[in-house]
A and B are shown apart, each in its own frame.
Chain A
Amino acid sequence: GAGVSQTPSNKVTEKGKYVELRCDPISGHTALYWYRQSLGQGPEFLIYFQGTGAADDSGLPNDRFFAVRPEGSVSTLKIQRTERGDSAVYLCASSLTDRGTPSFGSGTRLTVV
């Protein structure tokens, strides 16, 4: 079956612009996670959804970052006024339940120039 799908796979944007990154989780998975992976580092947690609600958004670095999951499936990570330091790979993961094993997408590589 289909895995976690993330679009776009690559995004180049100018400093100060707004970007949206999309995640399609595995069908039926109620839990959805966003992580950010900087070069040479492991993924760092950003936000976790259980259904439609953000159960834990404590990893979002500041108020420029926001994520939604309005119907409990697709999620969008939104970054306002992008900065060069936002350049990273943004990974999405989903799991069947909140204690299940997360399956990851291939990520969106964001480059802010």
Chain B
Amino acid sequence: AQKITQTQPGMFVQEKEAVTLDCTYDTSDPSYGLFWYKQPSSGEMIFLIYQGSYDQQNATEGRYSLNFQKARKSANLVISASQLGDSAMYFCAMREGNGNNRLAFGKGNQVVVIP
């Protein structure tokens, strides 16, 4: 069963605008962590932000923030003030707290920032 769902088609966003990338997840484990990674065309996976299931506040890291809605099982990434260098694939991933240390990734969201 798919644990992470990212279904948005490729997105174009104007430079300096904000963009929201959707991610929904499926788990019965009460303890889990959610990650967002960026993958530019060069291929490396760059860690952006982390949200723990018990965290009381939404995570923020610079221009990245996570809109965590636990009841809806969604963890949308918000990128504010988009820059040309934000053009990349963005992957949402989950690690469950059941002793299993693997990350389960979604299929990714493609973002293209246009000047």
Which of A88-113 touch B at CB < 8 Å? 89, 91, 93, 98-99, 101-107, 109
Chain B residue, CB-CB nearest to A59? B102
CB distance from B86 to the nearest CB of A (A): 18
CB distance from B102 to the nearest CB of A (A): 4
With A89-B43, A104-B37 as given contacts, are A56 and B102 in contact (CB-CB < 8 Å)? yes
Bound CA span A35–B104, Å: 10
Bound CA span A103–B44, Å: 10
Is B103 an interface position by the 8 A CB rule? yes
Chain B residue, CB-CB nearest to A45? B102
Is B63 an interface position by the 8 A CB rule? no
Is B18 an interface position by the 8 A CB rule? no
Chain A residue, CB-CB nearest to B104? A45
Chain A residue, CB-CB nearest to B42? A106
- Taking CB atoms, residues of chain A closer than 8 Å to B43 are 89, 106-107, 109
Does A91 lie within 8 Å of B45, measured CB to CB? yes
Does A44 lie within 8 Å of B105, measured CB to CB? yes
- Taking CB atoms, residues of chain A closer than 8 Å to B4 are 42
- Taking CB atoms, residues of chain B closer than 8 Å to A89 are 43
- Taking CB atoms, residues of chain A closer than 8 Å to B104 are 45
Is B12 an interface position by the 8 A CB rule? no
Residues of B within 8 A of A (CB): 4, 6, 35, 37, 42-47, 50, 91, 93, 100-108
